[in-house]
Each structure stands twice: as C-alpha cells, then as structure tokens.
C-alpha cells in the first residue's frame, strides 16, 4: 500500500507554545488529508479535512484557530497546535487519500503538553 509519513512521532512542548505536526504522502499525491485525534483507549475522532490548495473543513466543536491546518501541496499537510495546553495532550493521526478507495494512515504523533 501507499506510504504516509507523520513527523514527529512524539513531541513534548511547554504550555503556551505552538507545535507543528507534518503529514507526508511519500509515493502518491494526496488530494485530501484527514486529521484525527485519539484519546487513550478511545476511537479516532475526525478533527478536520483538508484539500490541497483550499481551506480545511473543521468538524463541529474543533477550534480552527487553535488547530491550524495547512495543505499547501499534494504531498504535505501540517497541523499546528497553537498556544498548547495540557488538555491538548493526545495522539494525533493523519490519513491521506488520493485516487484510492481507502485512505492510508500515518504512524501518529503523541503530543504531551507540560
């Protein structure tokens, strides 16, 4: 299957700072990328959908000013958690879709805000 790389795998940041997570499709062009959040022992909750070259579509209840998503190219989408707080600590997973029936997932990023 296609490969999606997410970076970093884990990150610790101080409260009030911003952190950027990258999601890259390595061997295909991703017209759409999805960002999910997964709390411990829970399911994946979609945060937003991003299409290359256009603004992201956020799910209800997701603060778009806190979770900035950029999909500037067909192989890269970024999620920036701005002014992070401990409650933003979570596991963030991206997936990318482009011409296939299914989306392919990155390996996830564990964010810890201290």
Residue 76 as a binder of other proteins (CB under 8 A): the answer is no
Residue 82 as a binder of other proteins (CB under 8 A): the answer is no
Residue 1 as a binder of other proteins (CB under 8 A): the answer is yes
Q: Which of 5, 11, 20, 44 binds other proteins (CB under 8 A)?
A: 44
Three state DSSP letters for the chain: CCCEEEECCEEEECCCCCEEEEEEECCCCCCEEEEEEECCCCCEEEEEEEECCCCCEECCCCCCCCEEEEEEECCEEEEEECCCCHHHCEEEEEEEECCCCCCEECCCEEEEEC
- How far apart are CB 113 and other proteins at their closest, in Å? 19
Q: Which of 20, 80, 105, 112 binds other proteins (CB under 8 A)?
A: 105
Residue 112 as a binder of other proteins (CB under 8 A): the answer is no
- How far apart are CB 42 and other proteins at their closest, in Å? 7
Separation of alpha carbons 73 and 64, rounded Å: 20
Residue 11 as a binder of other proteins (CB under 8 A): the answer is no
Q: Which residues bind other proteins (CB under 8 A)?
A: 1, 31-32, 34, 38, 42-46, 49, 51, 91, 93, 95, 97, 101-105, 107-108
């Amino acid at each position: 299957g296609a490969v999606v790389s997410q970076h970093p795998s884990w990150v610790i940041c101080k409260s009030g700072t911003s952190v950027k997570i990258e999601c890259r499709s390595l061997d295909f062009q991703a017209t759409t990328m999805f960002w999910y959040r997964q709390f411990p022992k829970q399911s994946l909750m979609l945060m937003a959908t991003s299409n290359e070259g256009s603004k992201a579509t956020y799910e209800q209840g997701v603060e778009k000013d806190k979770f900035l998503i950029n999909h500037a190219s067909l192989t890269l989408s970024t999620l920036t958690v701005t002014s992070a707080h401990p409650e933003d600590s979570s596991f963030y997973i991206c997936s990318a879709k482009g011409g296939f029936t299914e989306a392919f997932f990155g390996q996830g990023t564990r964010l810890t805000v201290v």
